[in-house]
Amino acid sequence: MRRYRLTIEYDGRGFVGWQRQDNGPSVQQALEDAVLGFCGERTQVYGAGRTDAGVHAIGQVAHVDIARPTTTDTVRDALNAHLRPASVSVIAAELVDDAFHARFSATGRRYLYRIVNRRAPLALDAGRAWQVGMPLDVEAMQTAAARLIGRHDFTSFRSAACQARSPVKTLDRLDVTRAGDEIRLEIAARSFLHNQVRIMAGTLKLVGEGKWTAQTVADVLAACDRTRGGPTAPPDGLYLAAVRYDGSARGGGQAPDDAADDDE
Catalytic residues: 52
CB 176 within 8 A of CB 183: yes
Q: Burial-class residue 184 by CB neighbours within 10 Å (0-12, 13-18, 19+).
A: middle
DSSP state of 83: H
How does strand 88-96 pair with strand 108-116? unpaired
- Label residue 4 exposed, middle or buried (CB < 10 Å: 0-12, 13-18, 19+): buried
Residue 120 burial class via C-beta count within 10 angstroms: exposed 0-12, middle 13-18, buried 19 and up? exposed
Going from the C-alpha of 173 to that of each of 134, 150, 189, the distances in angstroms are 26, 8, 7
Q: How many CA atoms lie within 13 A of 47 on its CB side?
A: 28
